[in-house]
Amino acid sequence: MNAKARPDKTIPEAGLASDPALFKLLTEIDMIAHLASNEFARLLPPPLTEAQFGVLNRLMRLDCKETISELADAFQVAQPTMSSTVKKLVQHGFVEIAANEKDARIKHVGVTGAGKAIRNETIKIITPHLNELQTEGPAEDWNAILPALTALRDFLDQRRLRQMQRLAS
Amino acid sequence: MNAKARPDKTIPEAGLASDPALFKLLTEIDMIAHLASNEFARLLPPPLTEAQFGVLNRLMRLDCKETISELADAFQVAQPTMSSTVKKLVQHGFVEIAANEKDARIKHVGVTGAGKAIRNETIKIITPHLNELQTEGPAEDWNAILPALTALRDFLDQRRLRQMQRLAS
DNA sequence: GACATTTACATAGATATCTATATTTTAGGC
DNA sequence: GCCTAAAATATAGATATCTATGTAAATGTC
């Protein structure tokens, strides 16, 4: 990202006035996700990437081990993508693989001490930025709009599952 | 994306109950963007990619030509990324480059007839899916929550510009 | 007006993702 | 029990993105 701060050409609202509300919403959501993702990626302590942090964060929040496929499903990425992410986490010593006694195909991914340390370090780095967003950002009632977005996400997720089942039949 | 439709392990709400509302919101937004992006990418008529469609759509909506840098800024991607996207659009014959008479460094990107055709074809493909989202998706008042998200996006965008200026000083 | 700086774009190399497919292990039908 | 199908993961190859840097053209300073 090398963009220079040029004369403000920012569009006040995503899309055109004529676009349907849902299309504008999705456009806006895409831009927010993109902006937040870029900012977040820059803050991460090397060698941690967004995908890698996501895995550490999830396993620590849920306080459990998960398999490659479970993680791939949770983050909605392809299984080889998660295999690659986990492989790098292993190389960095942030997770370790445990074999399943009953099924030799399955690998359980668990966070190591080093993994917990860098995840907590990341949280410390991120927190002030989130706080700035809270205090200096727009004063909206985020809890009020959260259920609508959760419903939308759930619908898209269900539709995705339906389409996959259609392909498999 | 090879995920199988496994027993429903969907988390009802993004993140943990203990997470701050804004963090949950950003997590939810990231998941929606991811889901929508995946679905959209699958629907695009080859050889069009999401980034390529975005450029065609923008130039046609604004009914103008823009430079590589202007497009990179608009989509918040690095300039070489947009150079690459435009190069592929040129190879497919969807845009054409016009030189600037006064400044030989500048390239103006304009949509061709073939570009307009495939953009309109894409709209036709997408529309039924958007309609399904409208009719079968959650019945929320999207117009009501749009301003809050626009404000959030604007804040993140402004913060990004501030940080870039800080680096340049 | 010469020279350093800035600007617009291109190129090179690295990474993360995807799809397609291979490999290994388990489960099921006969 | 055997043999096929399904499941979990790995490998290979392609693409899109990034950062760092190169190149050419315009700008500005003295």
Tens digits of residue pLDDT in A13-60: 555 556 788 988 999 999 999 999 999 999 999 999 999 999 999 999
Instruction: Kindly report, residue by residue over B23-42, the tens digit of the pLDDT.
Output: 889 999 999 999 999 999 99
Query: Distance (Å, rounded) from C-alpha A3 to C-alpha A15?
Result: 21
Nearest residue to D12 via alpha carbon and C1': A80
Contact yes or no for A138 and B148 at CB 8 A: yes
Distance from CA of A48 to the nearest CA of B (A): 18
A91-142: pLDDT as tens digits: 999 999 999 999 999 999 999 999 999 999 999 999 999 999 999 999 999 9
Q: Any residues with CB less than 8 A from the CB of B100 and at least 6 apart, and which?
A: B106, B107, B108
Interface residue of B13, B62, B149 to substitute, partner A, most A CBs within 10 Å = B149
CA distance A168 to B21: 38
Say if CB B89 and CB B115 are below 8 A apart. Answer: yes
Tally: H helices and E strands in chain B = 6, 3
Q: How do residues B106-119 score in pLDDT, each as one tens digit?
A: 999 999 999 999 99
Q: Is the pLDDT of residue A2 over 70?
A: no
- Check: CB of residue A35 under 8 Å from CB of residue B76: yes
